[in-house]
Structure 1
Amino acid sequence: MHGYLGDLGLLRDRRFALLLSARTISVLGSAFAPVALAFGVLNLPGADASTLSAVLTAESLPMILFMLVGGVIADRLPRHRVMMAGEFVMASGFFALGAMLLIGWTPLPALIAAAALSGVATAVTFPALTGIIPEVVPLDRLQTGNALLGLGANASRVAGAVLGGGMVVLFGGGWALVMSGALFAVAGVLVALLRLEPGDRRRGEARSVLADLRDGWREFSSRQWIWVVVAQFSLLVMAIQAAHGVLGPLLAKESLGGPLAWSGFLAGEAVGTIAGVLISLRLRPSRPILLGVLLCLPTALPYVLLGLDAPLWVIVAGAFVFGVCFDVFGVLWQTTMQREIPAESLSRVSSYDILGSMMFGPIGLLLAGPAAGWFGTEESLLGCAVVIVISTLAALLSPGVRDLRAPQSRAAAHADLK
């Protein structure tokens, strides 16, 4: 208990408190979106799983296309300004989606354009977020800072999953999406209040974007543990996108009880991520990447349970396990990157990480709807579980994944050699 109270002392730092508040509110806005967007689109006249796939793909594809540019921007400009702009653009996209659903004007090209706007905003925000954390949090408290940011984000996911589903049922998806936009706008204001010392900012140099990208690629490709896990996640995220974005909501609508049942699934996952944060606050593994990759194996569990028509409470329990494992992986991964990658290249390396991890996500979304029609929803979910297990086992074959040690473990090993 004393250790946990010491971790909370980081909240007294004004800059970290602002970053934590902004991130927590932004994730709350994101947590409203999956249920609101999925059932808002599915309830449109004539809409089906392919319609939802098209809208979600329109959000995901620009995020991938602009991710590398987002990394360059975040390494050149003050990262809090980049994050602020991303939050405001995100707000605009969700305001537009909500307004279209509310007024009943929902041509598919317009929905796609609004969804694409939020994808561009995500591409700008994510690399800046990874890079700004070491500017705000002392090096020896990075894992604590990442875990506390995860705690705020995960609490928001719990609240958003419950409140989002309830708001969709009571008021409709349009109002839930408008609420998402408002929360992103508040997060943008909080980030605007974050002030970094001049020495903390990354000033741009007279260099081309391509030169910056080449430097970032060298940092990325020279570390086997990074590119192997990113390759693993390119397949894992494809399966998760298909299952979480289309197949899960579709099965919930068909046989589990609709949006409230899917909100229960997402809430179980979110509660699991909170438990994962509490574990990761104190966890100090000697081989963080090896442990993180091993924890990817149980993330297939909820899709197996969905595919086998398990009772809802069992499926929610599987989502809880998914949340625990994924959150511990996330904290270990972010902390290792922030410790191992030079600060001036961190956002660019992060953009390669995110781009590689998510590059097949749109394929998963595009194939999910047709796959449900061709093979069945349950069978497609089982296929997602198989992809997760195979890609994870392949990543474990890498020596870089198995052998990378945490700094404290390396120091102890060096002392033993002396």
Structure 2
Amino acid sequence: MDLKRTLGPLREPSFAHYFTAVVISQAGSYASGIALSFAVLAASNPTALGLIFLSREIPILILLLAGGVFADRLPRRFVLAGASFTQGASQLVGAGILIHGHANIFALSCCAAVNGAANAFAMPATTGLIPQVVSGARLQQANALLGLTPRLIGIAGAALGAWLISSIGAGYALAFDSITFVVAGALLVTVAKDVPRVKRETSPIADLGEGWREVRSRTWLWVMILCFGAFQLAYFPALMVIGPEIARTHLGGPSAWASIITGELVGGIIGGAISFKVRFPRPLLLANLISLPIVAQLVGFAMGWPLSVLVVLTMFAGLSFSIGGMIWFTTLQRLIPSESLSRVSSFDWFGSLALTPIGYAIIGPLSSAIGERATMGFSAALLALAILLPLAVPAVGGLQLPPIEPVISPEKETDPAS
């Protein structure tokens, strides 16, 4: 791997600041994610954990489209910083609940709702900001770095979360996450100061309609968004609610789940390394086909395979997410105009997450009715359909990207003699 080319985006100061903020916040998020899951399962059951995740997803859905409009109208770094500070505050309250008392499901659900509301503004702002803070020729490398490095940090975060649960308590993992959000927010304020604010004369409602027209005019985009919705419905409720319960009852508890999460991180690291070099003349064809190992991960849970096999399967799933995510975001950022990118991204996220609350609401009762493994098997079948069906649409499988312009080195930009 050409290290100079790989780390090239970090030579651009605004991207370097943004990248550092992401790495810091991700370390806390991995630790708190494991801690919260097992704190709730120890005090209650998978249905309660699903309710907390549901409480986070509903505000995201309600506010996502507004988040996209504001991220196209306001400086995106301020939108991201405000979201980060808000998430830090919600995690601090959650930490206090766990440290000083019982894992109150209603109170933790309220914290999750605040966290989700902030995330609704952060998600489309992130997609829109990245092509503003890195040159076009380095966009793939920037997205690959954003997929790779946080996973490296996440290994330590997952281990920290498991250690905190077994030593001093899950609440301290949420307190650590709160600190990382505040530090990340402070760094985000310094990002992209040279990016001019886009002044808009139209109303927010008109802006939203313009964003929808951008989506509707591209068949490949709205087809993929629909299938992302089915993907999210099938995968995340099953993995995040039933997965920890299977780990708790059959695989050895928090340490087993931490091992599975670590497998995902290792796979993501491998995928991130591949992402710097991979070429994708037909991006969506490759992104969908490379996602098939994610189905095998759920099949492994459904079949009751041992922990070692599940870790390996999760590693391949992590590889798939890393490469597939890089391809998707790079495709969006190269084919969608910058001035409407956050609004288009908000429709992407909205469609992707629209069915997820239903998944979190029914996954616990479904598991109680038909069993944990049968639920995983059903989710795996739905997931396979969500991945393969879009390839039947020519606009998806046949989509190609335009050529990219070469990078102009900083020396050539500033040296008049050159």
Q: Same fold (TM over 0.5)?
A: yes
- Normalised by the length of structure 2, the TM-score is 0.94
Match of 1:224 in 2: 219
Shift of 1:24: 1.0
Partner residue in 2 for 1:264:
259
Quote the Cα distance in structure 2 between the aligned partners of 1:115 and 1:146. 27
Q: Which residue of 2 aligns with 1:20?
A: 19
Query: How far did residue 342 of structure 1 move?
Result: 0.3
Structure 2 gap segments, 5+ residues each: 405-418
Displacement of 1:29: 2.0
Cα displacement string for residues 296-342 of structure 1 (whole angstroms, at most 9, x for unaligned residues): 22211111111111110100000000000111010000111000000
Count of residues in correspondence between the two structures:
404
1:7 and 1:144 in contact (8 A); partners too:
yes
* Corresponding residue SS for 1:396: helix
Q: Unaligned 5+ residue runs, structure 1?
A: 410-418
Matched, 1:128 2:125: yes
Which digits, 9 at most, give the CA deviation of each residue in 1:81-118, with x for residues without a partner? 11000100110111111111111154433222111000
Task: Give 1:150's aligned amino acid.
Answer: G
CA distance in structure 1 between the aligned counterparts of 2:196 and 2:352, rounded to whole angstroms: 27
Q: Distance in 2 between matches of 1:195 and 1:291?
A: 32
Q: Is the 8 A contact 2:227 2:390 kept in 1?
A: yes
2:169 match:
172
* Deviation of 1:34 (Å): 2.0
Matches within 5 A, 1:248-397: 248-397=243-392
Match of 2:135 in 1: 138
CA distance in 2, matches of 1:214, 1:187: 32
TM-score by length of 1: 0.94
Q: Secondary structure at the match of 2:206?
A: helix
> Which of 141, 144, 148 does residue 145 from structure 2 map onto?
148
Amino acid at match of 1:102: I
What CA distance in whole angstroms lies between the structure 1 residues aligned with 2:376 and 2:65? 31
Pair 1:162 & 2:159 matched: yes
Q: How far off is 1:207 after superposition?
A: 2.3
**Bigger mean CA offset, 397-406 vs 162-171:** 162-171
Q: Aligned-residue CA RMSD in angstroms? A: 1.3
1:183 corresponds to which residue? Answer: 180
Q: Deviations over 1:218-277 (max 9, x none)?
A: 111111111111111101111222122200011111111111101110110011011111
Aligned twin of 1:78: 75
The structure 2 residue matched to 1:114, chosen from 111, 115, 118, is: 111
Question: What is the Cα deviation at residue 158 of structure 1?
Answer: 2.0
Matches within 5 A, 1:240-251: 240-251=235-246
Cα-to-partner distance string for 1:269-290 (whole Å, 9 max, x where unaligned) = 0110111111110011110111
After superposition, the Cα gap between the structure-2 partners of 1:195 and 1:339, relative to the gap in structure 1 and judged at 3 Å, is closer
Kept in 2: contact 1:75–1:344 (CA 8 A): yes
Q: Which moved more, 1:81-90 or 1:167-176?
A: 167-176
State the identity %. 38
Aligned counterparts of 2:41 and 2:123: Cα–Cα separation in 1: 28
- Residues 278 and 218 (structure 1), Cα distance of their counterparts in 2 relative to 1, 3 Å cut: same
> Contact between 1:161 and 1:267, CA under 8 Å: does it hold in 2?
yes
Cα distance in 1 for partners of 2:138, 2:191 equals 19
Tell me if structure 2 keeps the 8 A contact 1:77–1:201: no
Q: Distance in 2 between matches of 1:347 and 1:135?
A: 12
Give the aligned residue type for 1:169: S
- Tell me which residue corresponds to 1:416: none
Name the CA shift for 1:146/1:306 in 2 (closer, same or farther; >3 Å): same
